[in-house]
Amino acid sequence: MTSEQDIWSWLSDIPDPEIPVISLVDLGVVRGVEWASDHWVITLTPTYTGCPATTVINLSVDTALRDKGLENFVIKQQIAPPWTTDWISTAAHEKLRQYGIAPPSAAGGPTACPRCASDDLERISQYGSTPCKAQWRCRACLEPFDYFKCI
């Protein structure tokens, strides 16, 4: 029989469709894996209501689990409590930096440029490549970068 640990491991290999350097588990959208009598329940929480990646995420989870031979599962959407950037793993923060995206910060903006680590930054736009990111620029290296907004 498949174990809960097996499923978590498989889910941790599924990349986020918008930021492929982090997994769905890293992002914190996988909220639970539990056995319920005769099937597994995989609970997912979208990053925000209406997130356009939700359908792709569900399909990615379904495909990955079926590819591993798992058939007896359901995917459950849970919107309460709402997803928050606090659910992004510590490891994902470093992966985001290395990818060129400043991870969320309680200060409400990036603390350093993900490319050169300078703290001389300016916001270009509150809206970035996706609704959960903003556009910033480093005044030291002059490179623009996405900042993952705190939610």
Q: What are the tens digits of pLDDT across the range 84-133?
A: 999 999 999 999 999 999 999 887 899 999 999 999 999 999 988 777 88
Please state the rounded mean pLDDT for residues 51-76. Answer: 95
Which residues have C-beta within 8 Å of that of residue 52, sequence separation ≥ 6? none
**Fold exhibited by the domain 4-83:** GMP Synthetase; Chain A, domain 3 (3.30.300)
116-120's contacts with Cβ under 8 Å and 24+ in sequence apart are: 116/140, 116/141, 116/143
Instruction: Tell me the whole-structure pTM to 2 decimals.
Output: 0.87
Alpha-carbon span 48 to 41, nearest angstrom: 21
Q: Are 29 and 44 spatial neighbours (Cβ–Cβ below 8 Å)? A: yes
Domain with CATH 3.30.300.130 in the chain: 4-83
149 residue type, one letter: K
Q: Determine how β-strand 39-44 pairs with β-strand 73-77.
A: parallel
